[in-house]
Amino acid sequence: MYIFIWIVAVVVCIYAIVKFIKYRPLTPFMPYKYNFGKRRITFRKTLDLLDKTNSKIIVETGTSRAGLKGAKGDGAATIVFGKWAKENGAYMHSVDISEESVRGSQAEVNAQGLNEYVTVHLSDSLVFLKDFKEKVDFLYLDSYDYSKDLEVQRLSQEHHLKEFMAIEGQLHENSIVLIDDCRLPNGGKGKTVIAYMLKNDWKILIDAYQVLLVRKGFKF
C-alpha cells in the first residue's frame, strides 16, 4: 500500500515539474496563468538585469496589441516591463504605428493600473526614436512584423536596424537591448541589427528566440 502511495506521489511530482517547465510562466512576477513560452528565459534574465542596473527608462517598439492575451504569441512585453516599471520607480514608453494596436495595448495598460508608468505612443517608431531626448536604459525592438515573404523579411530586418541607429546616441554603457523574433527563417527581425551591433562594441548575452545584448564593457 505504502509503495503504491509513493509511486503515485512521484508520478504527480514529475507531472507537475514537466508541466511547469513546459508551461513557462514568469511566476511569481506574473500570474501563473500567462504562458510566456519561448520568451520566458530572456524575459527573466532581462528583468534580473533591470533590477541590477536600476533601470529608469524603458523604450519598446511595437506595442502589446493583444494585451496579456498575447503573452504566448506576441510576448505582452508592454505589460511585463510596464509592471516592472511600476514596481521599481521606472517609466516605459511603447510606440506603435497602428491605431488598433495602440488601442489594444492601452486597454490592457488601463486594466492593469499601469497608466502612470507607461505611455503608449501612436507614431512610426523611427520618427519617435529620432525625437527621443532621454537616455534609454532598456531598449526592446519588436515592431515591423516578420513573415515568410522574403521581401517582408528584408524590410523588417532593415527597419529594426534603422530603429537601433535612430536611438543609438541615447544608449549608454550599461544599456540593455532585447530583440524579439530572431530564431526565425533567415535570421528573423534581429539579423541585420545584430550584425551591426556586434561590429560596434556590443556582445550577445543570450542567443535564443530573443537575443539579449549589452556593451562589451557592461558592468553587471
Ligand X SMILES: C[S@@+](CC[C@H](N)C(=O)[O-])C[C@H]1O[C@@H](n2cnc3c(N)ncnc32)[C@H](O)[C@@H]1O
Return the bridge partners of 118, or none: 92
Binding segment (CB under 6 A) for ligand X, from list 5-13, 27-35, 74-82, 205-213:
74-82
Q: Is residue 124 a contact point for ligand X (CB under 6 A)? A: yes
136 binds ligand X (CB under 6 A): no
**Cβ contacts of 133-136, under 8 Å, gap ≥ 24:** 133/170, 134/57, 134/170, 135/57, 135/170, 135/171, 135/172, 135/175, 136/57, 136/58, 136/59, 136/167, 136/170, 136/171, 136/172, 136/175
Under the binding rule (CB under 6 A), the answer on residue 95 touching ligand X is yes
Should residue 108 be labelled a site residue for ligand X when binding is judged by CB under 6 A?
no
- With binding defined as CB under 6 A, does residue 61 bind ligand X? yes
Length of the chain: 220
Q: Does 70 bind ligand X (CB under 6 A)?
A: yes
Indicate the residue among 64 and 153 with the shorter CB distance to ligand X.
64
For ligand X, what does the binding mask look like between residues 137 and 176, x meaning CB under 6 A?
-----xxxx-------------------------------
Q: Which three cell numbers stand for residue 133?
A: 531626448
Cell numbers that stand for 199 in this block: 561590429
The residue ranges that bind ligand X (CB under 6 A) are 60-65, 70, 74-78, 95-98, 101, 124-125, 142-145
